[in-house]
Amino acid sequence: MSNYHNRAIVLKQRPNGEIQEGDLVMEERPVREPGEGEVVAQILWLSLDPYMRPRMNDAKGYMDPIGIDEPITGESVARVVESRSDKLKVGDLITCYSGWQEYVTFPAEAPMVYKIHQKDGVPLQTYLGVAGMPGRTGYCGLTYVGKPKAGETVVVSAASGPVGTVVGQTAKTNGCRVVGIAGGPEKCSYVVDELGFDACVDYKAGNLEADLKAACPDGIDIYYENVGGDVTRAVAPLLNPGARVPICGYVSAYNAKSTDKVETPFDILKRLDPVPEHRFFLVTEWQDKHQEITDILTSRIASGQIKYRETVAEGLENAVEAFKGMLKGKNFGKQLVHIAD
């Protein structure tokens, strides 16, 4: 047994709707000594992402559910502190799926472990945000599923988040008209004034359908789906013939007590005539392009071409409240937990 003092947030019981006291609990957990070919890493930054909520349910989805008494799934930026591998040495900075904890032991050859080749002007934590999985998700979903063409109108929901941020700014570089959907005047102003979108609709203002129609006088050619529900219902009538809808997720339903009663984006889109081209996708479909796309994104961040915001919770003990707030849109930009320097 190693001497590292490790805390982990584990799933004690499956949430019924919104996360309640006792569902996710912090515990002290031992850190296993590394075997041959393994490393021990200290977590520096933890990513909080909406996909983690469905994995707390006992239902088969595109990923297996988190087991009871297991740490909550999550990607992190970490530093190797012990190594018995030629692939990673002490001091290397990596991204890995450590889960919500402070230390982790794993094989250096494990999938989804990447050494960070940090560029000047690109902070470490962005490798979990606009330069990380959310950024690659935005870039790949738009580029390979949306297939934007100059002059088209692209609409993206959750526009101020890390996925929406990359979708919108990438679409602008492709010569598209870009309309964001976000919650509240502050986020909408940021999306237009800082990120350079052509317009942003405030879904909290109470005029979603009319405001979206006014912002998209020529209809919508690509809708990048992050939210679902009322937002998708407002978008659907404005989709042009030949429209494409990359479906990244639909966070509005993630706290639902019964997924059977949720009207998904698929349900809404399939009622249209003609039915637009649409599909759910995972960024892992383009895993072979991981480094290539990371390089594109970090170069754009370093040059100032991609701008972004972050919300940071300090310490693992604040991760649960930060996660609950993120699911309600309380964060501004990428939600992170800072654990160590």
Average pLDDT value for residue range 221-242: 95
In this model, does residue 2 exceed pLDDT 70? Answer: no
**Helices 162-173 and 133-140 meet at what angle, rounded to 10?**
40
**pTM for this entry:** 0.90
The predicted-structure confidence for 121-138, as pLDDT tens digits, reads as follows 999 999 999 999 999 999
- The set of residues, in sequence order, having a beta carbon less than 8 Å from that of 205 and lying 6+ positions away, is 211
**Could you give the 3-state DSSP secondary structure of residue 221?**
strand
Long-range pairs of 253-261 with CB within 8 A, sequence gap ≥ 24: 253/228, 253/229, 254/50, 254/53, 254/54, 254/327, 255/15, 255/17, 255/18, 255/19, 255/53, 255/327, 256/17, 257/16, 257/17, 259/57, 259/59
In the chain the first and final C-alpha atoms are separated, in Å, by: 24
What number of other Cβ atoms are within 10 A of residue 52's Cβ? 20
Kindly state the tokens that stand for 29: 């957990």
Contact 115, 93 (CB under 8 A): yes
Contact 108, 88 (CB under 8 A): yes
Per the document, the length of the chain is 341
- Backbone φ and ψ of 322, nearest 5°: -65, -40
In this model, does residue 1 exceed pLDDT 70? Answer: no
CA distance 311 to 331: 6
Domains of the chain: 7-129+309-338 (3.90.180.10), 134-284 (3.40.50.720)
Q: Nearest Cα to 15, choosing from 324, 326, 336, 328?
A: 324
- The set of residues, in sequence order, having a beta carbon less than 8 Å from that of 106 and lying 6+ positions away, is 38, 39, 41, 96, 98, 113
- The set of residues, in sequence order, having a beta carbon less than 8 Å from that of 35 and lying 6+ positions away, is 84
In this model, does residue 261 exceed pLDDT 80? Answer: no
- The set of residues, in sequence order, having a beta carbon less than 8 Å from that of 116 and lying 6+ positions away, is 77, 93, 94, 95, 124, 127
Confidence at residue 339, expressed as pLDDT on a 0 to 100 scale: 97
In this model, does residue 188 exceed pLDDT 90? Answer: yes
Confidence at residue 61, expressed as pLDDT on a 0 to 100 scale: 66
Q: Is the dihedral of CA 47, 49, 53, 56 positive or negative?
A: negative
What number of other Cβ atoms are within 10 A of residue 286's Cβ? 18
% of the chain at pLDDT higher than 90:
86
The confidence band for 62, taking pLDDT boundaries of 50, 70 and 90, is low
Q: DSSP alpha helices (H): ranges in the chain?
A: 133-140, 162-173, 185-193, 208-215, 230-235, 265-270, 290-303, 319-327
CA 276 to chain centre: 24
Average pLDDT value for residue range 306-320: 97
Confidence at residue 50, expressed as pLDDT on a 0 to 100 scale: 85
**Could you give the 3-state DSSP secondary structure of residue 68?**
coil
In this model, does residue 258 exceed pLDDT 60? Answer: no
Confidence at residue 64, expressed as pLDDT on a 0 to 100 scale: 83
Average pLDDT value for residue range 290-306: 96
**Helices 133-140 and 290-303 meet at what angle, rounded to 10?**
100
Write down the mean pLDDT value for the chain.
93
In this model, does residue 262 exceed pLDDT 90? Answer: no
Contact 156, 178 (CB under 8 A): yes
Q: Which of 54-63, 161-170, 284-293 has the lowest mean pLDDT?
A: 54-63
